[in-house]
Amino acid sequence: MKKNRILVFFFSLILTGPIMADQTDSVMIRQIYHFELSEGRCYQDLEDLCLNIGQRLSGSKAADLAVEWAKEKMTSYGIDKVYLQEVWVPYWERGKEEKCRLVAPSKYKGRNLQVLALGNSVGTGEKGVQGKIIEIQDLRELESMGQALQNKILFINKKMDPTLVNTGQAYSNVDSIRYRGPAEAARYGATGVIVRSLSNGINPFPHTGSTGYVEGIPKIPAIAVSTADAEFLHDLLKEEKDVEIYFETFCQNHEDKLSYNVIGEIRGSLHPEEYIMVGGHLDSWDVGQGAHDDGTGCVQAIEALRILKSLGYQPKRTLRAVMFMNEENGLHGGKTYAEQARLKSEKHIAAIESDAGGFTPRGFGLDGTDEAFNRFSGWSTFFKPYLADRFTKGGSGADISPLRDQGVQLIGFRPDNQRYFLYHHTHEDTFDKVNQRELELGAAAMSSLIYFIDRHGW
């Protein structure tokens, strides 16, 4: 520690012009990576969060524990000021495990399908829902359905496009089937909805995620089926006209509850009124352990500040780490944070989010002004030796998106995303799927970017 502080001090003394500035930047980024790869703590922090608290959906007791955990963790690292920000969150509970099985044709009667109820969905209760299945590939097919869906169960079997190298793009292209599908199906008289899980390839893991109902249209129960069982159903429906299914879910929507965003700050020395924010979301779905989604983002955000503090770096602006609550089913943490920032006239010059998994870094995406992008992309050369120099336009993060209309430069950490949609929103999203070095490299990249923004501004 001590040696590092002296080095930083030394290099801040010899900073006398643009050439030296470049050298200072190179030295600083090298120190950040060196520190993190030899003295990183974020992997142990993630282990603690995932194994000792685990899944933590908004409103749950585990979410409360996670709030305490984040506060204590940041305090223990000597972050100047750590506090909670009140957020009212929806409280949805999955209840007893969902079940889904075929009723007809007779040769498959009783065959179980791997499913998860969609978040926010209403439950069927013990009576379940039963009906013939109609399959569509796209919501647009609904328009010509007429009465055909009446009392049926709609199976929306839209695939993520495997040919897109960017799996996040493939996901964005189809996630409306999950969010809008059930409400659309209800308009046409369906009694239940099964959506194909949003995942790459064929695997046995059902993926949950939010759905949204529309005022004045019946709320019908909705589940996601694994891609393997979606393929099975699809093949079956080609052979058999009358396929009938039964499913039961026990989800319930309760009253909203009080929860919190957790905020930690290192006060700026020159412009304390300007904020550079970095964050992830603390809540997770109620399956798995919320490891890649988004425990990794939280521990990286904390680590990004811890690194700078450990190296003795004195920021000009105030650096703020935010663990958002309720990204998964409401975004109330992000909305509240932006609202409070507006009310308090906090000037955010940048907000960085890590919510794409704790995989090996590729770079960052900036959703902001051209001027900021020019500066931003100029820094990428410093990230080249660390293989994190893909600085592109667009793609920030959900929690920080409500800050957009305050003119904040929004930045998304962009890791490699080939594996993300195997784990996302499933029982598989567990600590053992995270690689220590990949996680640490992400924290170091985020810390480095904060340094560049703080030192050079836009």
Residues found near its own copies in the complex (CB under 8 A): 33-34, 37-38, 162-163, 165, 167, 200-201, 360, 362, 385-387, 390, 416, 418-419, 422, 435-438, 441
Half-sphere exposure of 42 (CA within 13 A, CB side): 34
Minimum Å distance from CB 79 to its own copies? 25
Least gap, CB of 353 to its own copies (angstroms): 21
99-104 vs 244-248, strand pairing mode: antiparallel
The Cα–Cα gap between 380 and 389 comes to 5
Q: Report the alpha-carbon angle 47-93-299, nearest 5.
A: 20
CB of 315 to its own copies, least distance (A): 24
Strands of the sheet with 99-104, listed across from one edge: 99-104, 244-248, 129-136, 153-156, 192-196, 222-225, 115-117
Minimal distance in Å, beta carbon 425 to its own copies?
18
Is 48:283 a contact under the CB 8 Å cutoff?
no
Nearest CB to its own copies, comparing residues 377 and 436:
436
Residue number, 319 or 422, with CB nearest to its own copies: 422
Q: Kindly state the smallest distance separating residue 418's Cβ from its own copies, in Å.
A: 4
For residues 67 and 282, is the Cβ–Cβ distance under 8 A? yes
50 vs 323, beta carbon nearer its own copies: 50
Distance CA 221, CA 121 (A): 6
Closest CA to 118 of 61, 183, 53, 167: 183
| Residue 324 or 451 having the CB closest to its own copies | 451
Rounded to an integer, what distance in angstroms lies between the CA atom of residue 243 and that of residue 184?
22
CA distances from 107 to 102, 292, 334, 397, 418 (A): 10, 40, 50, 47, 38
Q: 92 vs 421, which CB is nearer to its own copies?
A: 421
Max CA-CA distance within the chain? 81
How far apart are CB 284 and its own copies at their closest, in Å?
A: 22
Least Å distance, CB 50 to its own copies, is: 18
Closest CB to its own copies among residues 237, 387: 387
Residue 316 φ then ψ, to 5° = -75, -45
> Which C-beta is closer to its own copies: that of 33 or that of 413?
33
